[in-house]
A and B are shown apart, each in its own frame.
Chain A
């Protein structure tokens, strides 16, 4: 928490190191595109199968599309994206900063009169908060595409109705809801990754421990805060 306050403090002070921000945005965003797209596709697909299975009992097949789209936009898109990025980037942050800590590279920054929170932590947090909504938007889109493929092409739901209901019932608020949560998750995973790395003590095995702990802690925080955020925004 203190780390967050310190990072916010440094956010409003020069020098801003644009190159570091862009490097982290690339690291979190671009490099996660593929896993995020792949997991979103299959999530959308399985969700469609499952929803179809249940809705068929009420002859409500045409509502499968809107259900899938809403679930993706409000819940699954943000959560799955955040969990994937935690696995890829959050734990890498803990490992990278942890290694820098135990090999005295963090001290070296301090000695060179460079604030390590500003240099290491701030760009990662900003990149997390900015990139997660973008990745989530992509994941929602791909999830719906996956749903369409399964629902329309495989299960034979009427394509026009599938899409029409989505346009009808999914509004900007749902999208906004999901993207806001995604930004919160981006903050959580970057902050936890940096925190665990920053306060690593000891030898090489402590870096491994910090990496695993950051993964577990941020997954737990993402899933619990997801409930809280949904409840608050209902």
Chain B
């Protein structure tokens, strides 16, 4: 199947630090793909390449076959309309209510009347399990609620692709499971392609249709959860079993 997102030979350095070293990655449509890797391994840098927040030093980033690596900002804006993104810290606008946060992309990018927007907002909030929260401010919400509002906002324009940066980090296990369930449901119900970044191997195994492991700036393993479980590489084995002994040096 034609991949919806494809990275070819992507290199990125910050100063002397090489974060991505000729990385190849191909993500297929209509599935939940999870990219795992240690903290600081460049997962956020990778996901920001996919949405054009960071441009590669070298290589191509193809979204539905179109190379966005050197696209100008105007054309980039129209590519971004295909995406929704849930940020690591939710990135809700603190100066706006929950309702205004979710309505924001609708006001900016559609000409729908207010009433209709309000209905869409309540529907999206209900879909992530939040009711009667419209008038709260982000500061009044718990971490899990903020993530769910962030997800509702990401889904507001019914994007084709939804990106999740560490959706469960910093949450209690029950809330983390709730968010993981929402990711699976987002894919199943909205038919969106989901790309999740995580260092939580158990969550990755249970939510991902396809797993990728990022290590030293490259994808070193790729497959179904079962294939990754059996992957014959000491680095992968050390990571998925969380061992302190092995080839990964603990810096």
Contacts and interface: CB of A to CB of B under 8 A. Distances in A.
B188 to A, nearest CB: 23
Contacts of A114: 108
The 10 nearest A-B residue pairs measured at CB:
A108-B91, A104-B91, A113-B77, A113-B80, A104-B87, A111-B85, A112-B105, A105-B91, A103-B89, A107-B53
Interface string B71-83: 0010001101101
A111 B107 CA distance: 15
A113 B53 contact: no
A164 interface: no
B237 interface: no
Contact of B109 (A100, A105, A107, A113): A113
Given A104-B89, A105-B94, 8 more contacts: A103-B94, A104-B88, A105-B91, A105-B92, A107-B48, A108-B91, A112-B104, A113-B108
A99 to B, nearest CB: 8
> For A100, A113, A114, which residue has the most chain B Cβ atoms within 10 angstroms?
A113
Contacts, number: 42
B231 interface: no
Contacts of B89: 103-104
Interface of B: 48, 51, 53, 73, 77-78, 80-81, 83, 85, 87-89, 91-94, 104-105, 108-109
A111 B93 contact: no
Give the interface size class of chain A.
10 to 19
A224 B238 CA distance: 60
Contact of B87 (A99, A108, A115): A108
30 contacts: A99-B94, A100-B93, A103-B89, A103-B91, A103-B94, A104-B89, A105-B91, A105-B92, A105-B93, A105-B94, A107-B91, A108-B85, A108-B87, A108-B91, A108-B93, A110-B53, A110-B80, A111-B51, A111-B80, A111-B83, A112-B80, A112-B105, A112-B109, A113-B77, A113-B78, A113-B80, A113-B108, A114-B108, A115-B73, A115-B77
